[in-house]
Chain A
């Protein structure tokens, strides 16, 4: 591979700076570590934080998987996978269990992760208190004082208004009994996968210049109330392609008469459950 760029694009000093932030994040689970986020050759909002974290931890022996919305073949997943294939030459895969390093946007794979794997999540807004208090100077104080009452009040207000918590993604969690954390906008469906995950979970927010982490086997509790326990979304139907129940389903509108198709958002999981020879619609 002839390239004028360093392995994984970033220079070694930058990688060292990011690794130091990652180590701090692992040492203080759920705490947002500010880091000197670099301007990357892809746009902010496209996963610059995740890409920087991946670039700083990837090695020549890694096997990389990149997904967006659970799918390996969405344009942004393709683009990021190509970026690393070009700048590192590492092997890439779509199989969750074959990957040592998985970069993702908005989903955690259905196939359970295992020890030794690293999942890198792309994060747009790392601060869980942002919609309640826009000022960073304030929210940092609130984290320091573990002052999370406002978030409980917000959830409580949902219950009084709607009879349930009306938060469907980036559902707030408490990490290791201490820090309030915003899971990158994964659906709350994926929140239980954060809890005592055997894999290391790293969160990178490039534009906001923050890194945070959930080390393996760390307790992650989704906020709830005794009389309104946390629950995930469910579908009254199975995947129309593979018949899976209990997987996160995407809804496709297939005609102009309200025809709908429900299919697994995790394309790797879905494809391998289907008999050989069947293909995705549109593929």
Chain B
């Protein structure tokens, strides 16, 4: 089995919108773009790298799932990491999510990813209700205090867009598929 995503259903960021709607629209656009880049591929294809880079699409999906619950769950809301990220020994295995994705089926990767996105959106809903985009994170950065919701949303947009750029070239090398 493979993952599925119908590109015609991809979220588009509205052209004239307030700040919250624009930022969440762009983030959803990139989440959907990433789902599309991973759709229709076998477990072996999701584990394929484009040398000399060692990144894979499956590894990236598990990495972005981790980023969702890392930034929105742990940093913003102070929540514990959900399984399977909660009992990883990150000091011993800092690239755990990239490495272990090769053992996961396409459906399992996508289910984990979708679950982490849902958790992230719930944390954003709650933070916005409490303090809008200026609301700050429970966890603080090492040197400059807490992060605002505004900063985390923009960071996630650029994080996703950057990984989607890498995904563009990896996907093209796997089966020739290209496109924004």
Is this pair of chains taken from one and the same complex?
Answer: no
